[in-house]
Structures are given as C-alpha cells and as structure tokens.
Amino acid sequence: MEIVISIIAFIIVLGVLIFIHELGHFSVAKWCGVGVDEFSLGFGPKVFGVKKGETMYKICAVPFGGYVKMVGEEPDEYVVKGQVMPDEVDAKILKKSFNRKPLKSRMAIVVAGSAMNLLLAFILFPTIFMLGFDKETYRDEAAVIGYVAPESPAAEVGIQKDDLILSVNGSDIKNWGNLELEVGLRPGKEALVRFQRDDVVYEEMLTPKPTSLGSGDAGLFPMAPPFVGVVMDNYPAKEAGIKEGDKVISVNGTKISNFHAFKLIVTKDAEEKTITVLREGKELSFALKPKYSEQNQSYLIGITNTYQGIPKYYGPVEAFKKGMAEMARLSTLLYKVIKGMVAKEYSFKTLGGPIMIAQVSGMAAQSGLVPFLYLMAFLSLQLGIINMLPFPALDGGLFAFMGIEALSGKRFNEAVIEWVNQIGFMILIIFMLIVTWNDFMRFFV
C-alpha cells in the first residue's frame, strides 16, 4: 500500500511541476506568435495524444520531464548557412518560427518555464502558512544535545548529553536546523566538530552514517520529553491503544527519559515490545510489534513526538510574509548546497533521483495536505532556480547565449551552441545516472 501511495504521489508531484513548467513555455510562445507543434508530458513513445489546432498534446511513456516543440526551434530547421529559404518554406510558417522572432520574445519564451515554477512556489508557500504550517520549534533552538544514540558516530568520539555543538567543519552552528543540515549533507564524509562541555571546548572528527534517504546521521538528538504526539492510523501504536498525550516511561522495563531513546529502542526490530505509559496519573502497559515500512526502510509503530509539529495558522498578510521568508531561506540554502557540492565539501551521496523523490512524496502524502504541498512548493522552487543556471542544455544555458547576443548585437554561432548543448546534455545524463545509482544503493542494497 505504501509503495502505491508513493507512486501516485510521485506522479502527481512530478506531473504538476512538469505541466506548469511547459505551460509557461507554451503560453508565452503562443503570445509571441510562435507556432507549437507538440506539447508533451514525458519523453519517448506516445501513450495518449490529441491534436487540437496545430498542436499535438500528448503524454509519453517516460515521465521524467516534458517539452514544447516549437516551429523553427531547431537552429537549422529553416536555415542554411545563415540564410532562410523563403522559396522552400511557406511564409506563414516562417512568421511563426521561434528563431525568426525578436530577441526579447525568444528570451521571454525561454525564461517562462522557470518563471511558472517560481510562481507556483510563490503561491503555495503563503497558502501553506494559512492552512497551518507544522512548526518544528526545536530547529530554532541552540544545538544542545538531549540524547546520543549508542554506538553512533557521535558516541564513538565521546559527545555526551548536554554538550553544545559550536561548529561543523568551520560552519557555525546557531541552532538545531544548522546542525541537521551540516551533518545531513555529509554521509560517509569526515567532519570536524567543535562542541562545548561546561566551560571547555573540544574538537573531534566524526563521520556521519548514511540513512535510507541518503542523508548523514551522527546519532545526535535534541531534548525531547517522551510524550506521544500524533498517533497514526493503521499502525501498531493506535491498534494497541496508545493515545496522544501519553508519556512513555519504559520499554520492556527500561526507563525512558527522551523520545528519541524510546524511538530507537522500539523500532530496532520486529520483536514484540511492552510499552508502559503514564495517562492521567495511571500507568498503562501495551504490547505491540513494530511494522516494517518499505517506504521508510525501517520498523515503525506510527507515532510522533509532541515537539515535532505544532501547527500555526496565519492570516493572509502574515502568511505572505512568512511564505516569502521561507522562499528566501530555501533559495539561500540551495545556493549553499550547490556551492558545497562544487567545492566537494558536501557528499554527492545525498543527491537523489526518481526513487528518492517517490519515497519523499509518499511520506509527505501520508503526513497530510500541508506537508505534501510544502514538498511540491520546495521542488518547484528548486526546479525554477536550477533550470535557469547558465549551464548547457538547461534553459539558463540558452538564456546565457541570448544574453551574449543582446550585448554583442550578433547571434551566437548556432553550430557552437549545438555542440556546447550536446556536451551539457551528456553531463546531465551522467549526473542522472549518478543520482539513480544513489537511489539504487539506498533502496535496494
């Protein structure tokens, strides 16, 4: 069932993002008088199609992308050695040719796809805050350690409860959000951690372990009292009778003082556990067996801690401000991650492809509407920004060539553009193979 939900969620997320992107190219092309031969969601063999006017609208077998095929889009479609062939090409077709349009029209068409993705994010983020954003308050708190997982990278180097993390590889750690980011981006990659205990500062090298989603895990957790938050349907905790607000006091007789200690013990394997909770001053015990989740690749009982999500609702004006601040924060974060990847400071193992997106989409869908919309807004923002990077084969690469044309007053050599784009496309293919391999290693190995 989880796999089915993941596939459906993946199709919805990817379908919306691709459709919005290609709709941007299509709409502006039409507005500029450019003919459109094909509007396709996906690549490869046609699964379904209908022709309306001059345009074939179709869905293809390979869902990872889409395209708008415009009249005269290919450099040599109606051109030989820079000269248009009016005797061989109908004048009406030439009039609708992309390459015959003014520079400002061509630039507008190229940038329209990413602009639509940014517009979608611009709409979704404020909407999310109005619907009730689950604010994980601990992320804004100082990175004081509440629990260290046994036999974890942090435990091996001697980090203890109540230590304050100061920096990771020179990056200052102001709060838990910073710490999770710096550790999460370094699976299998050694990092220098500075931390304070009482008045003494220590430095240790640790190597975060990769998780099932490819992020790094050092075994560090915030202070989290073991109170039960959301109890999910169709999971052992609810079936056993555990309720929201219960305080976990022991598992199989072992006393519990931190939610993360409880979670690690109870989800270690499928063996039956006896969980004792305090409810309205009474101790109650429940026996349950954790359920294996293919999607999460771990055992779960289906509960969250009360600190993990506190919904906050905002009016339109405040939601707009919060939404724009979140867009700015995520954009800055994306820049930081790209810079770190290029500098080889962060691990490429964190990058994910279709399988990882499907996993995350399924998790978000099962968590509710707001997490699902947040994921869609986040991915749309990423797509809008990344696609406009001045890299060959991306819209940003073509836009860069047009920028050179605007400055020089001359069209860039089409043969050079095609050659550069082919190299860029090959690099993108290699990149896709890398992230797909990452997916394979995480999910199947």
Given pLDDT bands bounded at 50, 70 and 90, which one contains residue 91? low
- pLDDT of 82 > 70? The answer is no
Residue corresponding to tokens 């999310």: 128
Given pLDDT bands bounded at 50, 70 and 90, which one contains residue 130? very high
Given pLDDT bands bounded at 50, 70 and 90, which one contains residue 78? low
pLDDT tens digits for range 348-386:
777 777 777 777 887 777 778 888 999 999 999 999 999
Contact 118, 30 (CB under 8 A): no
- pLDDT of 84 > 70? The answer is no
Contacts of 379 (CB under 8 A, 6+ apart): 13, 17, 357
| pLDDT, average across residues 153-180 | 93
pLDDT for residue 309 = 57
Distance of CA 51 to the CA centre of its chain: 34
pLDDT for residue 85 = 52
pLDDT tens digits for range 402-427:
998 888 888 877 778 888 888 888 88
Q: Which of 5, 2, 15 is nearest to 383 (CA)?
A: 15
pLDDT tens digits for range 253-295:
889 888 888 888 888 888 888 999 999 889 999 998 988 877 6
pLDDT tens digits for range 192-226:
999 999 999 999 999 999 887 778 899 999 988 88
Contact 143, 179 (CB under 8 A): yes
**Tokens, residue 438:** 């990452």
Q: Which of 5, 357, 89 is nearest to 213 (CA)?
A: 357
pLDDT for residue 374 = 92
Given pLDDT bands bounded at 50, 70 and 90, which one contains residue 346? confident
- Angstrom distances, CA of residue 56 to CA of 38, 53, 79, 184, 380: 5, 8, 24, 44, 26
| pLDDT, average across residues 221-240 | 86
Phi, psi for 88 (deg, rounded to 5): -105, -10
pLDDT for residue 250 = 92
- Looking at residue 16, its amino acid is V
pLDDT tens digits for range 28-68:
999 999 999 999 998 888 888 999 988 999 998 887 788 89
- pLDDT of 21 > 90? The answer is yes
Most confident of 6-10, 134-138, 278-282: 278-282
What domains can be seen in the chain, in order of their start residue? 2-130+378-443 (no CATH), 139-221 (2.30.42.10), 228-301 (2.30.42.10)
Distance of CA 119 to the CA centre of its chain: 17
pLDDT for residue 80 = 45
Contacts of 279 (CB under 8 A, 6+ apart): 243, 245, 246, 247
Q: Determine whether 311 is exposed, middle or buried from the number of CB atoms within 10 Å of its CB (0-12, 13-18, 19+).
A: exposed
Average pLDDT, the chain: 86
pLDDT for residue 361 = 81
- Angstrom distances, CA of residue 205 to CA of 158, 159, 160, 409, 429: 10, 11, 15, 55, 35
- pLDDT of 135 > 70? The answer is no
| pLDDT, average across residues 83-104 | 72
- pLDDT of 81 > 50? The answer is no
The active-site residue out of 2, 22, 136, 239 is 22
What is the separation, in whole angstroms, between the first and last Cα of the chain? 21
Is 22 part of the annotated catalytic residue set? yes
